[in-house]
Each structure stands twice: as C-alpha cells, then as structure tokens.
Amino acid sequence: MKRTTAHRLTSFGVLVVLAALWQLASILMPYESVPGEPMIPGWQILVTRTFLSLADYWQGGLGVPSVAQGGPRTYAGAALAVLSNSWDTSLRLFTGLTLGVAVGLVAGLAVSWSKWSRRIVALPAQIIRTFPMLALIPMFQLWFGATFLGMALFVAFAVGVIFFTGTVNAVGNVSDIHVDYARTQGASRIQIYRSVILPAMFPELRSSILLSLGTAWTAVIAAEFLGAQTGLGQIIVFAQYFGYVGRMFLVALFLLFYAAITYALFERASRRLTEWMPRELATPDRYGAP
Amino acid sequence: MAEVELRNVGQFFRRSGGALVEAVADVSLVIRSHEFVCLIGPSGCGKTTLLQLVAGLTPASQGQISVDGAAIAGPSPERGLVFQRDSVFPWMRTIDNVSYGLKCRGVEKTKRIEIARQYLRQVGLGDVERSWPRELSGGMLKRVAVATVFANSPRVLLMDEPFAALDYVTKLQLHQLLLTLWEQHRPTVLFVTHDVDEAMLLADRIVVMKEGRVVDDRKITLARRRTVESLALPEAVAHKEVLLRHLGLGELVQDRTAPL
C-alpha cells in the first residue's frame, strides 16, 4: 500500500473514532441544556432535528418560504440557510484575507528593503503581534459598526499582522549568496525581489499562510459574534442565547469542513509552488511545515 | 580588452568586540587583458574579500579598483562571479538559471534561450535543461554556474574556489572545461584557490596573499595545455615548492634553503 493511501486511511480512521466517542458521550451523558435540547446531541439528532432547525435562518426566496413567514422547517430551507450564511461569512473572510495578505506582504517587503527599516519595525511588530486580537473587536465595532467593512477589516488586521512579521522574518532569512548571485548578473533591486526574494521566502512563508488561514476563520467568526445579522458566527450566537448546543456543534462542523477545504486548496497550490524543493523538505507531514 | 587594476586597495572590518581587522591591506595589482591569474593563500588571508571587492559586492574601505580605467561602482554582469557555495537558484529550471542574467538585461526570450542552450551544450548539460537543480549532482551544478557566467559574456571572470567541494575526477574535468571556454572567449580571469596544483594547471600568473597583503607574484610560463608531464618539469616543481612554503607547508619541500 502506498504511503499516502495508508496515511489517509489512518486519518479517516481517527475521524471515525472521534465521531464514535461523541456518540458514546451522548449516550453516557444524557443531560439537557434547556428542556428538550440535549447537551451532547447524538448523530441521529444532529442530522435530522438539529439540521432541520437551521431552516429558521433562511430568510425566504427561491420558492422556499422562511419559517418566520409561516413556512415549515424543510431540509431545503435548512440547506439554503447554511449556504447563504456560509456565503456571507466566506465573503467577509476572503475579502479580509486578501486585504490582509496584500497589505502584510507589501508592507513586509517594503520594510525589508533596508536593514535600518527592519531594525526600526522589529520591536513594534513583535508587540503588535502579541496583542490579544479578540480584545480589539469592540474597538473595530465602534469604529466601523457591525458592517461588512468592519468585519472584513478586522480579519485583514488579524491576518496582516501575521503576514507582515512572517514576511519580514522570511526576507531576513533569504540566503545572501542568491541575492549576490543575482546582483552579479545585473539584476535590479525590483528584479531581485521578484525573482529571488519572493520564491526563496515562500517555503518559510508557508507556515505564516497556514497560520493566517486559521486566524482568518477565528477572526471572522469572532467578528460576527457581535451584532452581525447574517453569517455562521451569528447562528452560533443565537444558538447560545437559547441553549441550542446541537446547532452550535453543527455550525462548528461546517466551519471545520470549510477550513479543511481551504487548507487542502492551499496545500495543493503550495505543492506546485514548491515543486523545485527537495521532496523531503517540501512534504510537511514528514518534517513539519518547512 | 579588460584590464583590471587595483590601486592601494584596503578593506577593514570591525569585529563585534570593536577591534579593527584589516582583511585586505594596501593591495596594488594589475591583471592584464585575457590573463588567467590565480590568487592563492592560506585560509583567512583575504583572497575572497579581495575577489568580492573586484566583483563590486562590497565597496573597498580604501583605494581604487578599475576595469579598463573606469572605477567600478557595484556589481556588473561584465564581471561574472562563480561562487564557492552552490549559488544556482533552486527555484528555477536549469535553462532559466543559465538565461537569468540575459533576462535581467532585457534580451528577448528566443534569443536568450538560444544562448543558454548553446552554453548548456558546451558544458555537457544539453539534456537536462528542464531539470530542477535538486535533480543535479554537485558537479553538474558547477557546470550550470559556469554556463551561466559565460552566457553573460563577461569581460572579467571571477571565481572563488569554485571547484573546492568537488571530487578529484570531477574537478579535473571542470578544469578542462573551464580552459576550453576561456580559450574560446578569453575573458580576464581572477581565480581564487588554495590548491597549488589547481593554480599550476590553470594560471598564467600566481599571486600569493598572506594576512591581507600580496607577498608574491610569479609568472608561470609553462606551455598550455599543461599535462602531468609538464607539471613535473623543473620549472613547475620550483614554483610549486615556493608556493607550498608560502602556505606554511615547507616540510613537504626537500630543499629547505631555496629562497622564497
């Protein structure tokens, strides 16, 4: 059996075991958060009653009336609710992510232009990076309100800080010999950045990108906790008000699924971009993310 | 024409403790057009520092370096450099590495690929132009570096112990390859080495450095291409004995009374 197939089967096996443990916990601990709402809902409840209840978040349209308008809870309504709220969350996430990556990368490269600017920003950047991100949410709310812009900017800030420090560090670790080699061949500074610094720093930047993806999902959900009218974070908040543990868990599973897809897509793109690297260094599951 | 002139060149560094180190001290040297000069000396004598100054990678603390009378101001593809360590870009395929300098200078794609292919064929790597550097051996990577530097048509070729890490056979093969390319294109060469045999095989002239200063400068008039036999001639042996004594290996020389 190929190594990758064995690896995938093992991972799948672990997921099955975790799901079974959840089911076991639901049987062994039959407590309720509010009457009629189990604290640990089993899978038979999650995929039926709990999923159907998500239809409450469908605003109506496409031939499926909303529950608030007197329509019944249907699987179609639930699916549309999940899709529309996921779309809203994803839009905030990817707008913020794109903005944060762009600003963080450009600012990081600009600062890395000279040793002096690197020295000047090194300490402030470290301080900003350690600042508790969630403590900034109320501030962003006051500045921008519970708007698309405010939430996207919050994600951009969280991602941008990681990307900025990651870029500065990665540029600092690019081998001088490659820069000198390019200089002796007549490369201009811009050409050196484009053809030497960027590809050379990418392997090191991969860990920052993975961290940014995780942070972006956390940041967008956290931003939606406070006052958003749509989005997966908003469903979790409402579910918490009424003690609907099942809904919270189900939405968390959807988030897990989306995050896994973004990681997988990045890994695929990353494999192409690191095709030049020795395989043992480019395979993160063997030596950790290089 | 590419005559390199160094006039009273010095380079100082400040150690972390604050002490001033004189890596190169008052070096004056003229390397004539098309000449193949080997710079030899013990480790830490300032050979590599001097080469980097000529490459323009670092400005000299004092003195002036010029090529054909024009003071150098930074690196230039006219002064190609082959590094000791692997400098080939691992993220570019072989052909892209060789054509990189041409691309930087705006040479049209078809033309630069044609030039790169020509040099890859000359160094015996015509069949690996689409390979990644990770797929090549150490000797092949050096061939890529040599092809790259020649593709840029340098007037001055600077080489910093380029073959030091290679096995004996590969090193001898690369010597022959380098001499072939040099004979065809005739750039002025400054080749840093601490290998006396390598210097005797390649050089028109051997310059010896010690503690940042030039302490010997000798012409090697042996006919080219040099062979095992020509390197065993009395003239070659006499040069080698002196060079070994400069390197602190006097115990290998039978006649200890021979003047330096």
Mean pLDDT of B12-21: 83
How far is Cα B156 from Cα B166, in angstroms, rounded to an integer?
Answer: 24
Do B147 and B230 lie in one domain? The reply is no
Residue finishing a domain among B125, B153, B181: B153
Residue finishing a domain among B136, B153, B170: B153
**Residue B34 distance to chain A (closest CA, Å):** 20
Residue B161 domain-assigned?
A: yes
**Residue A177 distance to chain B (closest CA, Å):** 6
Do B125 and B247 lie in one domain? The reply is no
Do B101 and B169 lie in one domain? The reply is no
How far is Cα B179 from Cα B172, in angstroms, rounded to an integer?
Answer: 11
Which two structure tokens, joined as six digits, stand for A288?
Answer: 């950790």
Residue B189 domain-assigned?
A: yes
Q: Which of A50, A71, A85, A2 is nearest to A245 (CA)?
A: A50
CB pairs under 8 A between A and B: 65
Residue A220's Cα: distance from chain center in Å? 8
Q: What is the pLDDT of residues B205-228, one digit of tens each?
A: 999 999 999 999 999 999 998 998
Q: Which residues in chain A are contacts of B74 at CB distance < 8 A? A: 183
Backbone angles phi, psi at A41, to 5 degrees: -75, 135
Residue finishing a domain among B110, B130, B153: B153
Mean pLDDT of B106-124: 96
Query: What is the CATH code of the structural domain delimited by A74-262?
Result: 1.10.3720.10
Residue B257 domain-assigned?
A: no
B 47-106 residues inside an 8 A Cβ radius of A:
55, 57, 74-77, 79-81, 83, 85, 87-92, 100-101, 104-105
Backbone angles phi, psi at B33, to 5 degrees: -55, 135
pLDDT tens digits for chain A (290 residues)? Answer: 567 788 888 988 999 999 999 999 999 998 888 888 889 999 999 999 999 999 999 988 888 888 888 888 999 999 999 999 999 999 999 999 999 999 999 888 888 877 787 778 777 777 877 778 878 888 888 888 888 998 999 999 999 988 898 898 898 889 999 999 999 999 999 999 999 999 999 988 888 888 889 899 999 998 888 778 899 999 999 898 888 999 999 999 999 999 999 999 998 888 888 889 886 655 544 434 43
Looking only at the bridges linking them, the beta strands covering B156-160 and B79-82 are parallel
Q: Which residues in chain B are contacts of A278 at CB distance < 8 A? A: 134
Do B73 and B165 lie in one domain? The reply is yes
Q: Is the pLDDT of residue B106 over 60?
A: yes
B70-77 long-range Cβ contacts below 8 angstroms, 24+ apart: B74/A183, B75/A180, B75/A183, B75/A184, B75/A186, B76/A184, B76/A186, B77/A184, B77/A185, B77/A186, B77/B101, B77/B104, B77/B105, B77/B152, B77/B154
B 200-229 residues inside an 8 A Cβ radius of A:
none
Tally the domains of chain B.
Answer: 2
CB contact under 8 A, B100 and A185: yes
Q: Is B2 helix (H, G, I), strand (E, B) or coil?
A: coil
CB contact under 8 A, B100 and A187: yes
Q: Which residues in chain A are contacts of B104 at CB distance < 8 A? A: 182, 185-188, 191
For an interface test with B, give the residue of A181, A188, A194, A205 to mutate (most B CBs within 10 A). A181
Do B116 and B238 lie in one domain? The reply is no
**Residue B88 distance to chain A (closest CA, Å):** 7
Q: Which of B6, B54, B57, B55 is nearest to B28 (CA)?
A: B6
How far is Cα A202 from Cα A270, in angstroms, rounded to an integer?
Answer: 9
Which two structure tokens, joined as six digits, stand for B86?
Answer: 């692997």
pLDDT attached to residue A280 = 61
Q: Which residues in chain A are contacts of B92 at CB distance < 8 A? A: 195, 276
Integer angstrom CA distances of residue B30 from A245, B6, B41, B201, B255: 84, 6, 18, 21, 32
Burial profile A81-104: b = 16 or more Cβ within 10 angstroms, e = fewer: bbebbbebbbebbebbbebbbebb
CB contact under 8 A, A181 and B89: yes
pLDDT attached to residue B256 = 52
**Cβ atoms B234, B240 nearer than 8 A:** no
Do B159 and B244 lie in one domain? The reply is yes
pLDDT attached to residue B240 = 92
Any idea what DSSP says for residue A46?
I
Do B140 and B129 lie in one domain? The reply is yes
For an interface test with B, give the residue of A177, A183, A184, A276 to mutate (most B CBs within 10 A). A184
Do B182 and B214 lie in one domain? The reply is yes
Residue B8's Cα: distance from chain center in Å? 21
The CATH number of residue B205's host domain is 3.40.50.300
Any idea what DSSP says for residue B132?
-
Backbone angles phi, psi at A160, to 5 degrees: -60, -40
Closest chain B CA to residue A178: B87
Closest chain B CA to residue A273: B91
DSSP string, B30-62: EE-TT-EEEEE-STTSSHHHHHHHHHTSS--SE
Of A186, A196, A276, the CB nearest to B105: A186
Of A178, A181, A186, the CB nearest to B76: A186
**Residue B113 distance to chain A (closest CA, Å):** 16
CB contact under 8 A, A184 and B132: no
Do B72 and B132 lie in one domain? The reply is no
CB contact under 8 A, B76 and A277: no
pLDDT attached to residue A103 = 92
**Rounded mean pLDDT of chain B?**
92
Total length of chain B: 260
Do B165 and B246 lie in one domain? The reply is yes
Residue A19's Cα: distance from chain center in Å? 23
Residue B228 domain-assigned?
A: yes
Q: Which domain holds residue B199?
A: 4-78+155-252
pLDDT attached to residue B11 = 94
Q: How many CA atoms lie within 13 A of B22 on its CB side?
A: 10
Residue B21 domain-assigned?
A: yes
Any idea what DSSP says for residue B92?
S
Of A177, A188, A199, the CB nearest to B87: A177
How far is Cα B209 from Cα B246, in angstroms, rounded to an integer?
Answer: 9
Mean pLDDT of B41-56: 94
Q: B216 — alpha (psi -120 to 50), left (phi > 0) or beta?
A: beta
Do B67 and B188 lie in one domain? The reply is yes
Residue B84 domain-assigned?
A: no
For an interface test with A, give the residue of B84, B100, B150 to mutate (most A CBs within 10 A). B100
Of B77, B88, B92, the CB nearest to A184: B77
Do B239 and B188 lie in one domain? The reply is yes
Of A182, A184, A276, the CB nearest to B55: A184
B81's enclosing H/E stretch is strand B79-82
Q: Is B80 helix (H, G, I), strand (E, B) or coil?
A: strand
pLDDT attached to residue A288 = 41
Backbone angles phi, psi at B158, to 5 degrees: -110, 130
Integer angstrom CA distances of residue B140 from B83, B132, B144: 14, 11, 6
Give every CB contact of residue A12 below 8 A, 6+ residues apart in sequence. none
Residue B259 domain-assigned?
A: no
**Residue A211 distance to chain B (closest CA, Å):** 24
Which class for B192: exposed (0-12), middle (13-18), buried (19 or more C-beta within 10 A)?
buried
